[in-house]
Structure 1
Amino acid sequence: MISKEECEKVLNAYNNKTNFEKYTITKFNSVLGFLGDHSLLKIYYSECNIKKNTTFFLKTFPKPSKEHVDYIKKLGVFQKEALLYSNLIHHFQTYFDEAFSPKMYLTDNKEFIILEDLNRLGYENIPGKSLDLNHLEAALKSLAYLHASSIIFEEKRRELNENYQLIDEFYDEFKEVSFSPNEEHPRNKLSKNILKAVLDCIETMPEFKIYKQQTSKNLIEFIEKDVYELIKPSKRFRNTITHCDLWSNNAMFRKTKNNLDCILVDFQFARYIPSVYDVLLTMYLNLSYKDLNDNFKRLLDFYYECLKRSLEKHEIEIKMIISYPEFWECVDFYKRLAIVEATWFGTIAFIGDDLGQKISLDEDIFREFYYFNRSKHLLEEMKRNEEYKVKITDLLRHIVILFK
């Protein structure tokens, strides 16, 4: 998986006044994600003749089944995330005292990424599949640091080149992996499969059934005509790095005396588009229908203020990046894309561990779930998993309202 020499490099980056002794790797039992395997790397060393050990988070290219491996290779998400950590996030972390992403110690850009062990630092995931309002606000604050870092990075380079954009220098880091117009691409097949599952699900719900025909027409048209342009960098609003996959598995929290700190993890779906989209997607993914409606403006205003303060630390006025009226224009512009992608993600992110294990380990179930009949699994999961049913129903309610 990784070599002794690589572990020595990690230890040297962690503390260069030590003597390496040995290392162990322990794989986590639970399914933390479908696009990487996760383990605890423990390194034993001596310092001033005192024996010690420390731990790191090891993310490796997953190999649960041939079908799954082929899927991840075609997406290129593992390499994409490694490049982001190496070439951008490493720089972004220097702009603020507050941590918003884990420190990376080593990657080969192909098979492994070694990060600091956030559990050792007191961070943990919250129970359940969604963030509550308090944890969501902490996550939005960290998103603001991430987005501001992207702007600061660009502004420094625009002193020499006024047209500088991240995407021009770091194209591979922002490779689109969620949607593809290429009919042979796995995500194109996946999207069609999810679309059918969503429409089948709407048809089974009495309160939505009357809107099925119009919703279906408008949603199909949106997917075919609008999505592929909307996911590209905007020519109208300021673009930044965006996480684009922020739910409870991808945020870790630590409560201190005065703060609730949040670290963002898993950047495999990152894009270069306006930051508002990231915020909307995060809100749709995590909040119930009622909580979102009750707190929609307040949370967006909270994020805008966080972004404003983050930029001010580097003497950048937010109105020069995106004015408050432009911010709300951007909200309206990206709202439909955000709920579509939240729903697409939700059909897999919120499934129970039992189904998750089956998808990871059984090639036939993987193939059926991803490419041919997600409807079957979605409807069965809604019958046996009340939390899943509630989350999917809330997302579908948004879909119907925006597309009916």
Structure 2
Amino acid sequence: METPTFSHSDCQKIVSKKLNDDFVIVEVRNSTFDHKNGYLGDHSLLTVTIKRNQCNESHNFFVKTLPTVPSQRQFLLEINGFFKEHRFFTRYLNLLEKHSIKVLEGAIPRCFLVNDETFVFDDLVSKGYKTLPSRVSLDLESVKAALTTFAKLHASCIILEEKKQFWLVDEFEDEVAETFYSDKESVKKAYASSKHGLRALVDLTHTQTMTIPKSMFMEKILDGLDQQKLFAQPSTKFRNTICHGDPWTKNLMFKFDDRDVKCVMVDFQSYRYCPPGQDVMAFLHLTTDKKLRDDHLD
């Protein structure tokens, strides 16, 4: 991966947006992480050292760029992921700000710069946030914190629609259009891989003690996968709102202290316009085990 470069002007804009104060840039460093942080993006850490009030201080920023791996880059572009995230942090958030809707404060990372291939965000790790292991069920307090954060996202759109007296899908048609399920070549390959993996999982996990025959189990699983295309569309029955669309553990960052748990959602490459129950139920089934759901779902 190539580390993105930032001009003095870029860094001036980034720090100015964060501090809204006078300062002088002393040093700029941009370093790659020694591990992969995500699939659909390359990531690095931008550190800007400034002098303010006669003292030096360093500020860290999380940098996200288009993937350099060709297959990942093609997939992201074909699902319109970069465009969606770009418009979320520019057009959608600007509209919320214009109408004094502040419900998302603290629920998403602050974005200080967006250009053709790069986002610069506040570095949540330096603020005590972390991503939890994706193969371990979230505990109840983390689930509550995440649901609170999802609720803020869903509420932001409903409040905006009520204030503007419009439906988001009418003015943001390109942004909220469903592109994850499409006829693009890389999308079809990913979908075929999902079906192949599910067949393998059924082969590995189905036993003779199960009451449902293996063939019927396989049919229901694959039919459920196909139904995602339907449920990703706006409902004609229930209230729709902006939904994250990819609500699993790696797209959430948590901060734990003695009093409570805080949660910030990241990665807005798959958001869509649909009932909020889609985010809620997908989140619960992707991040918790059956016992927690049995004990606390109601």
Scaled to the shorter chain, the TM-score interval is 0.7 to 0.9
Structure that is richer in strand per residue: 2
1:140 aligned partner: 147
| Deviation of 1:170 (Å) | 1.6
2:84 aligned partner: 80
Which amino acid in 2 is paired with 1:211?
Answer: P
Q: Which residue among 97, 112, 119 is the counterpart of 2:118?
A: 112
How far apart are the structure 2 equivalents of 1:157 and 1:120?
37
The answer to whether the 8 Å contact 1:39/1:57 transfers is yes
2:199 aligned partner: 199
Q: CA deviation digits over 1:26-63, x for unaligned, max 9?
A: 11122221001111111111113322221111111110
SS in 1 for 2:235: coil
Q: CA deviation digits over 1:348-400, x for unaligned, max 9?
A: xxxxxxxxxxxxxxxxxxxxxxxxxxxxxxxxxxxxxxxxxxxxxxxxxxxxx
1:174 aligned partner: 176
| Deviation of 1:128 (Å) | 4.8
How far apart are the structure 1 equivalents of 2:12 and 2:272?
33
How far apart are the structure 1 equivalents of 2:258 and 2:224?
47
Distance 1:90 1:101, change over 3 A: farther
The answer to whether the 8 Å contact 1:240/1:273 transfers is yes
| Deviation of 1:245 (Å) | 1.8
| Deviation of 1:287 (Å) | 0.8
How far apart are the structure 2 equivalents of 1:194 and 1:209?
25
| Deviation of 1:223 (Å) | 4.8
Alignment of 1:126-165 (within 5 A): 126-130=132-136, 131-158=138-165, 164-165=166-167
Q: Structure 1 unaligned segments of length 5 or more: list them.
A: 159-163, 298-404
1:280 aligned partner: 281
How far apart are the structure 2 equivalents of 1:205 and 1:127?
23
1:213 aligned partner: 215
The answer to whether the 8 Å contact 1:80/1:175 transfers is no
Q: Which residue among 20, 26, 31 is the counterpart of 1:21?
A: 26
Which amino acid in 2 is paired with 1:34?
Answer: Y
Which amino acid in 2 is paired with 1:139?
Answer: A
2:190 aligned partner: 190
1:328 aligned partner: none
TM-score by length of structure 2 reads 0.88
Is 2:47 the counterpart of 1:46? no
Once structures 1 and 2 are overlaid, which stretch shifts more, 41-50 or 248-257? 248-257
Alignment of 1:219-368 (within 5 A): 219-221=221-223, 223-224=225-226, 226-297=227-298
Over the matched positions of the two proteins, sequence identity in percent amounts to 28
Distance 1:134 1:19, change over 3 A: same
Distance 1:290 1:165, change over 3 A: same
Which amino acid in 2 is paired with 1:2?
Answer: T
The answer to whether the 8 Å contact 1:177/1:187 transfers is no
Which amino acid in 2 is paired with 1:111?
Answer: E
Which amino acid in 1 is paired with 2:247?
Answer: L
Is 2:127 the counterpart of 1:121? yes
Which amino acid in 2 is paired with 1:196?
Answer: H
Structure that is richer in helix per residue: 1
Distance 1:128 1:215, change over 3 A: closer
The answer to whether the 8 Å contact 1:203/1:209 transfers is no
How far apart are the structure 1 equivalents of 2:231 and 2:221?
14
How far apart are the structure 2 equivalents of 1:28 and 1:243?
26
